[in-house]
Amino acid sequence: MAQGCLKCLKYTMCFANFLCFLCGVAVLGFGVYMMVNFKMAALTPTLASFNLANMLLISGIVITCVSFLGFLGALKENRCLLLTFFLLLFLLMLVELTAACLLLMYEREIGRMVKEDLNNGLEKAKEKNETSTSVMNEWDLIQVQLNCCGINNVTDWGDKVPESCCLKNCNSPSVQYRSKGCLITLQNFFEENFLTTGISVIILCIVEVLGMCFAMTLFCHISRSGLGYKL
């Protein structure tokens, strides 16, 4: 009976770590996608300073490596790998909780800095120099992707409304511009995804706690059975 429960625990842990490995690969791919398609360092240096794409890349690599250690440790019944998996998973959970708490604490401050970045970026885009060209390209990109215009609305551009603000009838007197401002659109985007992100972090922490419990249970059984260095 005990051997049957152990095998069930062993293969359950292998399957769970395989799913975590796939999730890590997905996070890694999303980080590469963001790095290629979302380049707004000149427009929003505050968000760029967080290096979200690089953070996703690092997170994806860490998740895949940790899950591979857990999978291999459970499959080979290796105490060293299981203990390493437990410690890395514990550190990863602490980092995730710390990052979530910091975002909650400085949410308003980050929002204020992003608003200042957009105001500065709008002023730079109206100038005629090399810097304004790169900033204008980023404005065009964000306005098309987020379906917005200006910071609050189209009037922020004054008489120099870019083509990326146009929604319908671009070359006619009855031109129709995008109604929402980019600041409001960004705020709505983060607010809509805030609850989903919070629930995801909670579920991830629960999964990590269960993984640590499984790893310790398997580690203790292997220690009692004297198979600690089985390869």
Each residue's pLDDT expressed in tens, for the chain with a length of 231 residues: 556 667 777 788 888 788 878 877 887 887 787 777 665 555 565 555 556 667 778 888 888 888 888 888 888 878 888 888 889 888 888 887 887 787 777 777 777 777 777 777 777 777 765 556 777 777 787 888 778 888 888 888 877 778 888 877 777 777 788 888 888 887 777 776 666 777 777 777 787 788 888 888 888 877 776 554 444
For helices 182-225 and 2-37, what crossing angle results, to 10°? 150
Is 190 inside any structural domain? no
Neighbouring residues of 53: CB distance < 8 A, sequence distance ≥ 6: 31, 32, 34, 35, 38
> How high is the pLDDT of residue 225?
64
Domain that holds residue 133: 118-183
* Whether residue 155 is found in the same domain as residue 73: no
* Whether residue 104 is found in the same domain as residue 125: no
* Whether residue 209 is found in the same domain as residue 96: yes
* Whether residue 53 is found in the same domain as residue 22: yes
Report d(CA 55, CA 223) in Å as an integer: 37
Report d(CA 190, CA 180) in Å as an integer: 15
Q: Give the number of other Cβ atoms within 10 Å of residue 16's Cβ.
A: 18
Q: Provide the whole-model pTM.
A: 0.67
Domains of the chain: total: 2
Angle 81-82-87 (CA atoms, 0-180°, nearest 5)?
100
Q: Give the number of other Cβ atoms within 10 Å of residue 111's Cβ.
A: 15
> How high is the pLDDT of residue 162?
81
Q: What does the DSSP 8-state code read for residue 24?
A: H
CATH number, residue 172: 1.10.1450.10
Please report how many Cα atoms fall inside a 13 Å half-sphere around the Cα of residue 6, on the Cβ side.
Answer: 15
Is 113 inside any structural domain? no
Is 11 inside any structural domain? yes
> How high is the pLDDT of residue 229?
44
* Whether residue 25 is found in the same domain as residue 80: yes
Report d(CA 40, CA 61) in Å as an integer: 24
**Residues 7, 12, 17, 19: is their CA dihedral positive or negative?**
positive
